[in-house]
Amino acid sequence: MALPRNTQQQNAQAQIITASCSSKLGTVDVVTRYLYQNGFYITEIHSFDDTENEQFFIRIEFRPDNGANFDRQAFFDGFSPQADKFSMQWQLVAKAYKPKIVIMVSKQDHCLNDLLYRWRVGSLAVDIQAIVSNHPDCESLAKWHNIPYYHFPISSETKAEQEALVWGVIQQYDTDLVVLARYMQVLSNDMCVKLKGRAINIHHSLLPGFKGAKPYHQAYEKGIKLVGATAHYVSDELDEGPIISQGVETVDHGFLPQDLAAKGRDVECLTLARAVQNHIENRIFLYGQKTVVFTK
C-alpha cells in the first residue's frame, strides 16, 4: 500500500541531527529549543551523558511541522552559532539519504546473502554499489542481483597490490561504508586507517574464545554452551575494533560441530545486519575505543 501523499512529503523532508560535546548545563535545550523555535517537529530523540568522561551525545529525527521544504543552508546558518556556544561537533543528514556501500566477502556467502535480501525487499535502505572478493565463488549471486563483482585474488606477495585495487573500487563508487561480510583477510594498517569509522566487520564470538582453524570443532570438544557474534568497526588490532552490536544464542550437548556452525551463521547474519542498520541510520557515535549506539 502506498503512503499518503502528505506522509511521503514528511518523510522526504525528515532530517537527522547528531551532536556531541562536553557535559554541561543546557546541552539538550540548545538543540531542542532551536528546533521548536524554527518550526520543526521532533519524531525521535535519544541522548546520553557519559558521567565518567563528562561527554554528552544526542540524536534527533525531525521534520518541518508545516509541510514546507527543508532549507539545509538556513538550518546551518541558524544552528551553527548556537552549537558553537557549547563547542558541539554536529552533523546533519537527510533521513531519506541512502548510503553507498561496498561489500567484501570471501567464500562463505551467508552474511552477503542476508544483506542482499534485506536490500532487495527494502528493509535495508542503502545503495549497494559493488561486491569485492578474493575468490570467484559469490560472483553468480552478485550477477543475479545485477551488482558489479570484482574478483581480486590475494597472496602474501601480492597483498599491497590487491589492496590498492580494492581501494580503487572504494574510491570509484564514492563509498560511504564498507561491510566485511565474512571477508577472511586481514586488512593492512594503512587500509584500516583509511577506513576508520566506515568499515564494519563480523566474526564469531565463542565463549570461551577459540582461535585458529575449525573453531566450532574446538568449541564442540569443550562442550560450549553459548554461540555468538560480534560486529565492530575495523581497526589495526585484529578483531578488536569498537564494538557496535553483539548477539548470542544458547546451545547444548546435542549440538554437533556442524550444528554449532549453522547456529553461528544465523547469529552472524542478524548481528551484522543490526550493526549496518544502526550505522546507516546515524545511530552510532565512535568514541575513542568505544561506541555509543542509540538503537530504536
Domain extents for the chain?
5-94, 100-293
Cα–Cα distance, 279 to 285 (Å, whole number)? 9
Query: Which region, left, alpha or beta, applies to residue 249 given φ > 0 means left and ψ of -120 to 50 means alpha?
Result: beta
Q: What are 275's strand-pairing partners?
A: none
What was the pLDDT predicted at 214? 81
Q: Does residue 138 sit in helix, strand or coil?
A: coil
**Amino acid identity of 176?**
D
Closest CA to 224 of 258, 246, 250: 250
Report residue 30: phi and psi, to 5°.
Answer: -60, -35
Closest CA to 163 of 153, 173, 148: 153
CATH number of the domain located at residue range(s) 5-94 in this protein: 3.30.70.260
Q: Does residue 20 sit in helix, strand or coil?
A: strand
**Across residues 273-281, what is the average pLDDT?**
98
Write out pLDDT tens, residues 145-181.
Answer: 999 999 999 998 999 999 999 999 999 999 999 999 9
**Across residues 182-196, what is the average pLDDT?**
94
Residue ranges of E strands in the chain: 15-22, 40-50, 55-64, 89-94, 100-105, 127-133, 149-151, 177-180, 199-204, 226-233, 243-250, 284-287, 290-293
pLDDT-based confidence at 131, cuts 50/70/90?
very high
SS (H, E, C) 63-115: EECCCCCCCHHHHHHHHHHHHHCCCCEEEEEECCCCCEEEEEECCCCHHHHHH
> Helix %, strand %, coil % for the chain, to 5?
35, 30, 35
**What's the mean per-residue pLDDT of the chain?**
93
What was the pLDDT predicted at 246? 95
List C-alpha distances in Å: 243 to 124, 147, 294: 20, 29, 13
Consecutive H or E run containing 116: helix 110-120
- The yes/no answer on whether domain 100-293 falls in CATH 3.40.50.170 is yes
Do residues 177 and 93 lie in contact, with contact meaning Cβ atoms separated by under 8 Å? no
Residues marked as catalytic? 239
Asked if residue 238 has pLDDT above 90, the reply is: no
What was the pLDDT predicted at 207? 56
**pTM of the entire structure?**
0.93
pLDDT-based confidence at 288, cuts 50/70/90?
confident
**Across residues 57-69, what is the average pLDDT?**
93
